[in-house]
Amino acid sequence: MANNDLSRPHVFIQGTSSRTILALHGTGADEHNILGLAGALDATASVLSPRGMHLESGMSRFFERYADGTFNEQSIDIAVNDLAEFIGAASAEYAIDVSNIFATGFSNGANTASALMIRRPQMLVGAALFGSTIPFAEVEPVDLSGKKIWLANGDHDSYAPVDVSERWVDQLRDFGADVTWLRHPGGHQIVAEHVRIIADELRA
């Protein structure tokens, strides 16, 4: 099955505003999993939610990770390229405003959104990243001027340690992005308060 055209399993929900939220699920979920999150962030936006096409022990992900938990960066780049082509096909099919696509995701999906932002910055106006970490060992500088990014992580999330989140926030700001780092005292999860804060700021 192709990863880069409309045969890829996905959901599209037509909204009433020009914004489209690209919703990228976490490991073991599917294209239906974070539709509620996307709607909570902006009930007026259209939603485009594709399935991650890499399987790990039968669970859907967007890219491969090794047994020790590190990321296969070649797999990330393949995933980003396929996703970019899919977004192009979906934009033509659903008349999506390509100048106003905002990404959100949890865990593997959030990392994929970050990678898309780094590799194809022209495709996204911003992102709300939940339970995520730096997708690449070395991140090449990229111009993220005008991009609004929220990083929402738990202080006890072993998947996204605080020191790594701090380094990621600093890098994104160095690239010109407007970054808000939201922290909660829990672990690898999405908390309602962070969703509310981001939704309020998106409406502003």
CA–CA separation, 52 and 157 (whole Å): 23
Q: Is 188 a catalytic residue?
A: yes
CA–CA separation, 171 and 125 (whole Å): 17
CA–CA separation, 169 and 180 (whole Å): 8
Q: Is 156 a catalytic residue?
A: no
CA–CA separation, 66 and 31 (whole Å): 23
Q: Is 107 a catalytic residue?
A: yes
CA–CA separation, 150 and 180 (whole Å): 5
Name the catalytic one among 107, 114, 132, 165.
Answer: 107
Name the catalytic one among 46, 54, 157, 194.
Answer: 157
CA–CA separation, 168 and 183 (whole Å): 14
Residues noted as catalytic: 107, 157, 188
